[in-house]
Amino acid sequence: MKLPIYMDCHSTTQVDPRVLEGMLPYFTERFGNAASKSHSFGWKAEEAVEEAREEVARLIGATAREIVWTSGATESDNLAVKGVARFHAAKGRHLVTTAIEHKAVLDPMAALAREGFEVTVLPVSREGLVDPEAVRAAIRPDTVLVSVMHANNEVGTVLPVEEIGRITREKGVLFHTDAVQSLGRIPFDVEAASADLVSLSAHKMYGPKGVGALYVRRRPRARLLGQIDGGGHERGYRSGTLNVPGIVGFGRAAALAREEMPAEAPRILALRERLRRAILAGLDRVTVNGSLERRLPGNLNLSFAHVEGEALMIAMRDVAVSSGSACTSASLEPSYVLRAMGVSDELAHSSIRFGLGRFNTEEEVDHAARLVVEKATKLREMSPHTATSTQ
C-alpha cells in the first residue's frame, strides 16, 4: 500500500490510464483543430470529437446532437441557467432551485437575481432531499426554469429527479439537473429524468480536467442563449476552439463507465460500508450526514462530535479527504449544504467527507479507518468539551 491514500473523489479523480492512452495521440500526431474543414488533420480531429460525443450521449440515453462541449461543469451550469433565463425573459423571470446546489448553480442564480429575476430557493430535509411536491408548489405561471442536482457533492444524497422531471414536464417548465457527481457512478437517463438540460464533467469520472458538456434536449426543444460568442462553434451555443484531447478523454471515460459501472458501483459501495462500519465500531458520537438509502456508492460524510474537522484532516494527513468547512479569508465557515440540512454549526465544523473510487482498495480503507479512530480519539482527549459532555 502506497501513502498518501486518495479518498477525495468528489473533488476530482485520477485519469484512468486507459483514458490517457486514448488521449495522447491528439496532443502529437493528430493535433488538428476540429473546426479546420480543409485538410485531413482537421477531419481526423472532428471525427474523434464526434465519436466522443456519441459515447457521452450513450452514457445518459441521449443523442449525439444533444451534447454541447464546454470547459467543465461550471461553464455548463452557467450556460444552462443563464442561457435559459435570458432566452425566456420575455415569457417569465422566475427560477426555482434548492439550497444545496453547487455554487456553479447558486452563483449564476444570484447573478440573475441582480438582473431582476426572482429566485425561489427550496429547503431540503435532514437527509438532503427536496420534496417534489415543494417543487410543484413553487412553480408559477412566470417560472421558466427549475434546477435541481441529481446527487449532492458533499453528502452524496441522490435527489428524486425523476419525480421532479415529471412535474416540470407536466407544467411546461424547463428542467436542468447538474449530474456531475452521479455521472459514471450510478445510472442516469435523460428520458427517465425528463431532463431538458444536464451538466456533465469528465474529471469526476476518471477523465481529464477542463472538459465538460451540456445536454440540451432537441424534442421537445430546449431553447437557450449562448454565453460565449466568437465563431459560432457547437451550433452557436458555445464558441471557441475545442479541446480535442480532453474531449477524446471524456468519450473514453464515458465508454469505460458504461461498461464497468454495473460491477464497479457495488464494489465501491462495499468499500464505503466497510469504512463506515469500522469507524462506527471504533468511535461513539459519530453521525452520518445525508441519506444512507439514497446515496452515491462511494460517499461517506461523517460528523465527529467534539472534534474539529480541520484538525482531524490535518492529523490524518496520509489520507486525502475534505472537511465540511470552507476556508474564507476572514473565517472558517461551516458547510452551507450541512447548514441547509439542519446540521448544527458545531457538528458541521466536525464533518469529514470521504470519496471512494475506482482505485481504492480494502487495505486502504482499513488503514484510513484505523487512522480516523486513533486521531479522533486523541483530539477528543484534548478537547475541553469531552470531559463535561453528556452526549
Tell which residue, 81, 217, 90, has the closest CA to residue 146: 81
CA 269 vs. chain centroid, Å, equals 18
- Among 179, 245, 299, smallest CA distance to 23 is for 245
CB 231, CB 240: distance < 8 Å: yes
d(CA 375, CA 378): 5
The HSE-up count of residue 10 (CA atoms within 13 Å, CB side) is 26
d(CA 292, CA 299): 10
Residues noted as catalytic:
327
Distance CA 184, CA 205 (A): 6
Q: Which long-range contacts (CB under 8 A, 24 or more apart) does 340-343 make?
A: 340/99, 340/100, 340/123, 340/124, 340/128, 341/100, 341/124, 341/125, 341/126, 341/127, 341/128, 341/155, 341/289, 341/290, 342/126, 343/126, 343/289, 343/303
